[in-house]
Each structure stands twice: as C-alpha cells, then as structure tokens.
Amino acid sequence: MGENGLRAEDIDTTRPHPARIYDYLLGGKDHYEVDRQAGDELAAAAPEVRIGMRANRAFLRRAVRHVVGHGVRQILDIGTGLPTSPNVHEVAQEVAPDTRVAYVDNDPIVKAHADALLGHSGTTGTVLADLRDPRSVVDHPDVRRVIDFGEPVALLLVAVLHFLTDAEKPGQVVATLCDSLPAGSFLVLSHATGDFADRSKAQAVYNRASASLNLRSHTEVERLFDGFELVEPGLVQVPFWHPDTPPPARSGEIGFYGGVARKTG
C-alpha cells in the first residue's frame, strides 16, 4: 500500500486510459508508453484531435468563469481527469476565492495526483468514485464535506459521458445527479460527436483502452440537458461557446459539443 492508499494492483499500465491519453495530447507528463502510443494513433486517425482537446479545455475554463460569475460558489467536477493547470478550482477562485470544488474520478492515479496537488485545502476535495453509480457520488461523505446540496451547485460533466455506453444509460445517470441539485444550479457538459467527420478509427483506439468512445449526435447530447434551461448560445461546438479568443484553425471539424444550462425549478 502506497501513499493515498494506492496499491500497485489498482493501477493498470498495460492498457491505455482516457485520462492519461488526454493528458498526453494536452502536453502533460502523467502517462505511460501505452497512452502515448494510443494518443499518436488517435492523432493520426483524427489530425485535429489536439486542437479539439485544447478547445474543450478552454470551454471548461470559460464555463467555470460563467457559473461562478453568476453566483455559484460550489462545483462538483465528475470525471475530472489528471490535473492540468489552471485547474477548475484555480479558475473559479480567481473569480471568487471562497468557491469550493469537489473533484471526482474513478481512476486511482488521478486521485493520487490530485491529492498531491491539492493537499488538505478546506475548499477542495478529491474523491475516488464512479460516474456509473451516481447515487454513490452525491452521497459520498467526502463530496458532502465540500458540497452543500442545499445551495446551488455547478455540476461539471466535461468530456466524460461519451465513455458511457447506451446500456449504461447516460441520460439516467445525469438525471440522478441533477435530482440532487437545487434550483439555481448549473450543468456544464461537453461530449464527443461524429457529426462533423468519420470517427470510426478514433473509436477503434478507445475500444482497446479501458473505456470505449461512444459518439452521440447533437439531438442525443441535447437530451442530456432535460430539466435544465440552456443558456445562449445553446449547445454548440466548444470553440463557439462564448469565445474569448478567435476560434482555432479547423474549428468546424472539432468533434465536441458543449453547453451550459441552469436549473430553474
């Protein structure tokens, strides 16, 4: 048993992991050879993939600033992935230093890195839990230590739901999570799509990883916001959601939809 309660057998370095592939393609350093190989295959199959992942990360930062700017002071980030600065709490606390953030991921490596980065801050917490069991996430004592579900919460599901198959009922997962949120809460969501290009080769890369890539259409992704009111400009490709810089090259090919919505009742 190592630090953070992490055992060697908890870490599978023989198969690529989506969080580590993402880290590699963003230029990070927390990955293994299998992740680099998968990332290179992915980039060969979809040459704009690095642009798309950076655009998705930029969408996350803009969305966090938006919800905190609208008064939310607590964020539940599920499927957080490996820490990439600026992290959600850094972005949020630039706007409002008292913002609390609970990070949730099902990868023990992610939790170990997040614990090392965050230390024992009273305004942040990291939780090892699985999105596929949403009730266990919202009921987790470490989530409840940071998040008060009696007050508005920003729920972040950024680039994670496409790792759930249809059989795992992503719509039901989102609904269960959102049932715990009071009026005035926000849902921030991005999702991979094949609406703009053939992504079958990219899917094949993830099919050899620890989670498959399940692309969904605009209509299917929009349904995930049921019960919430999308803020303008609605569900769009991530570079076009409240851009604060000129859209990157090949933005029209970027296979991520993103949106922010508010719970009104």
Handedness of CA 137, 52, 246, 237 (dihedral sign): negative
149 part of a folded domain: yes
Q: Read off the pLDDT of residues 157-183 as tens digits, 9 standing for 90 and up.
A: 999 999 999 999 999 999 999 999 999
* 261 has a pLDDT exceeding 60: yes
According to the model, what pLDDT value does residue 215 have?
A: 96
Query: In the predicted model, what is the mean pLDDT of the chain?
Result: 89
**Residue 242: φ, ψ to 5°:** 40, 60
According to the model, what pLDDT value does residue 251 have?
A: 86
140 part of a folded domain: yes
The arithmetic mean of pLDDT across residues 92-100, rounded, is: 96
According to the model, what pLDDT value does residue 6 have?
A: 45
125 part of a folded domain: yes
According to the model, what pLDDT value does residue 111 have?
A: 79
Domain assignment of residue 102, given as a range = 8-262
67 part of a folded domain: yes
CATH code, domain with 214? 3.40.50.150
3 part of a folded domain: no
The confidence band for 2, taking pLDDT boundaries of 50, 70 and 90, is: very low
The arithmetic mean of pLDDT across residues 240-260, rounded, is: 92
Q: Read off the pLDDT of residues 55-94 as tens digits, 9 standing for 90 and up.
A: 999 999 999 999 999 999 999 999 988 767 788 999 999 9
The confidence band for 22, taking pLDDT boundaries of 50, 70 and 90, is: confident
According to the model, what pLDDT value does residue 1 have?
A: 33
* 103 has a pLDDT exceeding 50: yes
132 part of a folded domain: yes
According to the model, what pLDDT value does residue 8 have?
A: 44
Determine how β-strand 229-230 pairs with β-strand 256-262.
antiparallel
Cα separation of 194 and 52, whole Å?
A: 13
Please state the pTM of the whole predicted model.
0.91
Q: Among 33-47, 57-71, 175-189, 213-227, whose mean pLDDT is lowest?
A: 33-47
Q: Read off the pLDDT of residues 115-172 as tens digits, 9 standing for 90 and up.
A: 777 655 678 989 999 999 999 999 999 999 999 999 999 999 999 999 999 999 999 9
DSSP letters along the chain, please? --GGG--GGG---SS--HHHHHHHHTT-S---HHHHHHHHHHHHHSTTHHHHHHHHHHHHHHHHHHHHHTT--EEEEES--S--SSPHHHHHHHH-TT-EEEEEES-HHHHHHHHHHHTT-TTEEEEE--TTSHHHHHT-HHHHHH--TTS--EEEEES-GGGS-GGG-HHHHHHHHHHTSPTT-EEEEEEE--SSS--HHHHHHHHTSSS------HHHHHHTTTTSEEPTT-SEEGGGSS-SSPPPTTGGG--EEEEEEE---
Structural domain count, the chain: 1
According to the model, what pLDDT value does residue 3 have?
A: 39
247 part of a folded domain: yes
Q: Read off the pLDDT of residues 191-203 as tens digits, 9 standing for 90 and up.
A: 999 999 888 888 8
1 part of a folded domain: no
